[in-house]
A and B are shown apart, each in its own frame.
Chain A
Amino acid sequence: MADHRDEGRPPAPVAGYLRRHREQLLPVLFVLPALAYVGYFAFYPAIDAVVLSFQTPILSFTFYNYQANVNLGLYTWIANTFWLTLGALALQFGLALGIASIVNRNFRGKRIFATIAILPIGISTVVAGYAFSTIFPGSGGGYAASVLSVVGYHETIYWLQTPAKALLAVIIADSWKNTALVVIILVAGYASIPSTLYQAAAIDGAGPLRQFRYVTLPGIRGFIVIALLIRGAQEFNIFQLALEMIGQYPQLLTVQIYVLYTSGEGIYLASAVASVLLGIVSVFILVVLLLGTRQ
């Protein structure tokens, strides 16, 4: 039957395919610049970093860059980065769930509170980093001490004395700056839950806590996954705040990449650490996507 069709047109599979999908041609062309752009500016450098990590300055293959970093304490850097990410995510999601629950209610002054909650997004990270380094100074004292003395605590805390305290300071600073984004996403999640579900749960005898557990949490699950993806990746990548507040005490992967890059050892050692960070972020994205899409 097909033989009789399209008489007068020579059979040309490619031309025929293009003709049938003519309407799709422009959308495809429109997407190509963005793909070319991210290909050249994101994926090519990322792959280049991996390639560089296996190279010596005379371009021969080597594992030296990795071995050298292991000797310098690569595993500790990974652990520090991991703890920082875990702590920051926990604090941010705890805070964001609370703030989103508050914003989801109607009360006098709600608009003011919502504006206050989103303000930190507008504050420059570099300035916030400096402000937090005066709140949590390594030399003790600072504005944290000012607040603590108001409530009657007068011991001196040296914030860079132990890795845990230093990381905690960065976690607080980072959470202050970035919780608002999680709030925005979670508020959208709350809004997607029909209020009839709460009414039904209330009729079934569920109190506020069980409503949260059985209505709110399942309803905003997808939104939590998105927020977790965005923030989680950003926590692994945290650089400016950490560099400014704690420098190398303790060391994080990103800061070490910068320190190695700007030191004499240069780009090859830095690329090895960069590749490790890239690998961790990739695994993180995969795991969250797999867990999040599994129902």
Chain B
Amino acid sequence: MTVKLQLDRVSKKFGSLMVADDVSLDVDAGEFFVLLGPSGEGKSTLLRMIAGIETPDSGTIRIDGQDVTDLPPNKRNIAMVFQNYALYPNMNVYRNIAFPLKMQYFPPDEIEPKVRDVAKTLGISEILDRRVNQISGGQQQRVALARAIVRNPTLFLLDEPLSNLDARVRFAARAELKKIQRDLGQTFFFVTHDQKEAEVLSDRTGVLHHGVFEQIGPFDQLYDTPATRWIGDFVGDVPMNYVPWTESGTSGSMGFRPEWATVSPDGAQSATVQVAERVGDFTYLLCTTANGLRVYLRSLRSMSVGSEVRFNVDRHVFFGGPKDGEDERVSSERPERLPPRRA
């Protein structure tokens, strides 16, 4: 695998907000990399630095081994899809898609087949003559994608391209995006705050927090073996549960997800149900233990509020250090799945 994109000790500060603090990252050619993080943590800024729209305070950005840190965006041979699609409102769909080719001085007779080709692939051949304000949100997203694909870039940057779609369209668009990336075999760098997108799309997911990557790895790894308590809380529908725990002589806390515990009358632990919510086949229970800890559990049977629930923890990860800190996990029940931590 060759390295397509390399961030080398990149730092960027906006006023007092550290959006990148000595960040290093390698993205392999053909990889679908998802940059995941809560809003306002500078994910887009990192993406914009790769695009050349923002400048890092220090550090180096390389694409295909070439230092592009000081290159303007138009010299980087990248394509980018913005959150609001940034379609040129004064051009019709055809001219929007043709624009990057025009900027690269392709002759018109070469532009047309390329545009028609990519429009066919994305199923927007029928709307090439339409104005961009006359087409639906889903179609706009396709036009933006077509405009990115048509120029055959070396790297695709996507900034929350699905977040403006309504739920139904988003579901289909997500699957389609993954298929397109596979078919193209190109490198995608995708920014989102939606962990479902990271789960479905990514080969690897990196989680940015306070300007550093808390963890980088396949999404399952983030879910199953979070590197820090913060990741444990951020990834997953509900925060991880933590109870004080001592393991191999180190005191810390044990983290487990609701589905890692089994509710049964002969369970070793007990708690009191505070809130019970039916979601699909399961009832999710928000409980408190005798020493006041909050625990999320999952049960196939419905439980009433105030009743006692007993459960066993089947699987857990261990976080060393004081329970309130965000200290790194020092061991887990399945150490073979420890993520390869990068710089």
Contacts and interface: CB of A to CB of B under 8 A. Distances in A.
Asked if A and B form a direct contact in the complex, defined as CB atoms under 8 angstroms apart, the reply is yes
Interface of A: 1-2, 4-6, 19-23
A20 B54 contact: no
A5 B11 contact: yes
Contacts of A6: 58-59
Given A1-B22, A5-B9, A20-B56, 4 more contacts: A5-B11, A6-B59, A19-B70, A22-B70
A88 to B, nearest CB: 44
B175 interface: no
A2 B54 CA distance: 21
Interface residues of B, number: 11
A126 B210 CA distance: 65
Contacts of A4: 9
A20 B55 contact: yes
A21 B59 CA distance: 15
A23 B54 contact: yes
B55 A19 contact: yes
Interface in B1-40: 9, 11, 22
Given A5-B9, A5-B11, A23 B59 contact: no
B194 to A, nearest CB: 29
B176 interface: no
Contacts of B55: 19-23
B53 interface: yes
A20 B54 CA distance: 9
B117 interface: no
B64 interface: no
Nearest to A24: B55
Contacts of B220: none
A24 B174 CA distance: 36
Contacts of A23: 53-55
Nearest 10 interchain pairs by C-beta: A5-B58, A22-B55, A6-B58, A20-B57, A20-B55, A23-B55, A5-B9, A19-B55, A19-B70, A5-B59
Contacts, number: 21
Instruction: Give the dominant DSSP class at A's interface.
Output: helix
Interface in B33-86: 53-59, 70
A2 to B, nearest CB: 8
A21 B54 CA distance: 9
Contacts of A21: 55
Contacts of B57: 20
B59 to A, nearest CB: 7
21 contacts: A1-B22, A2-B58, A4-B9, A5-B9, A5-B11, A5-B22, A5-B58, A5-B59, A6-B58, A6-B59, A19-B55, A19-B70, A20-B55, A20-B56, A20-B57, A21-B55, A22-B55, A22-B70, A23-B53, A23-B54, A23-B55
A26 to B, nearest CB: 10
Nearest to A8: B60
Nearest to B69: A19
Contacts of B11: 5
A202 B160 CA distance: 45
A19 B54 CA distance: 11
Q: Which has the most chain B C-beta neighbours within 10 Å: A5, A6, A20?
A: A5
A24 to B, nearest CB: 9
Give the most central of B9, B54, B56: most A CB within 10 Å: B9
Contacts of B59: 5-6
A21 B22 CA distance: 19
B17 to A, nearest CB: 15
A265 to B, nearest CB: 57
A22 B56 CA distance: 10
Contacts of A2: 58
Contacts of B70: 19, 22
A288 B88 CA distance: 42
A4 B8 CA distance: 12
A22 B59 CA distance: 15
B47 to A, nearest CB: 15
B216 to A, nearest CB: 21
A46 B230 CA distance: 62
A1 B53 CA distance: 26
A1 B57 CA distance: 14
The listed residue with most A CB atoms (<10 A of its CB), out of B53, B55, B59, is: B55
Contacts of B54: 23
A2 B58 CA distance: 9
A6 B22 CA distance: 11
A55 to B, nearest CB: 49
A163 B54 CA distance: 63
A5 B59 CA distance: 7
A33 B11 CA distance: 34
A71 B9 CA distance: 74
A22 B70 CA distance: 9
A20 B12 CA distance: 9
Nearest to B53: A23
Contacts of A22: 55, 70
Contacts of B56: 20
B68 to A, nearest CB: 13
A17 B70 CA distance: 13
B72 to A, nearest CB: 9
A23 B53 CA distance: 7
Nearest to B59: A5
Interface string B307-337: 0000000000000000000000000000000
Taking each of B54, B56, B57, B59, which has the highest tally of chain A beta carbons within 10 Å of its own beta carbon? B57
Nearest to B72: A22
B202 to A, nearest CB: 29
A29 to B, nearest CB: 15
A6 B10 CA distance: 10
B3 to A, nearest CB: 19
A23 B59 CA distance: 17
